[in-house]
Chains A and B, each alone.
Chain A
Amino acid sequence: DVVMTQSPLSLPVILGQPASISCRASQSLEYSDGNTYLYWFQLRPGQSPRRLIYKVSNRDSGVPDRFSGSGSGTDFTLKISRVEAEDVGVYYCMQGTHWPRTFGGGTKVEIK
């Protein structure tokens, strides 16, 4: 199985400051069709997971443009340019290239 390793585990951030979450896969996530199926999800307390980013860098409809995804191969990053109070929650990366699908362990974003 592909192991997805996220860091840091916890990310205290000052409001208005940037935040960055790393996600590393144990093998390349580039699929035979040329796409890289790496997703980012946000899980707020008491809510269902929300997809933020698909195929590395594509922002979902309604997701603020302060969220951005980047990376290739095995190394990926989610960045929040200026953290707002509503961004508090746990963020997960997930690979959709190999079976079984696997998630990272999560990064808890909190306000410092």
Chain B
Amino acid sequence: GAVVSQHPSWVICKSGTSVKIECRSLDFQATTMFWYRQFPKQSLMLMATSNEGSKATYEQGVEKDKFLINHASLTLSTLTVTSAHPEDSSFYICSARVIDKRVRQYFGPGTRLTVT
């Protein structure tokens, strides 16, 4: 199947700093990319949907000024967590979607963020 990479795989940062997470589709062009967050023992929750060259669409309750999403190309999307707080500590997973004859969605390996 298609490959989606994320970088970094894990990061520890101090409260108040910003962290950027990159998501790349390595061998295909993604029409849409998604960002999810997963807290321990909970399921994935969609944070935002982004299409290349346009503004991201955020889910209800997700602060767009805190979680900045940039989708500069069909193979790269970035999520920046600004002014991080300990409650932002979570597992962030990106996903890239391809639509040809059917809808297929591939997940990155995730980024574990710990804010101290």
Task: Report if A and B associate in a common complex.
Answer: no
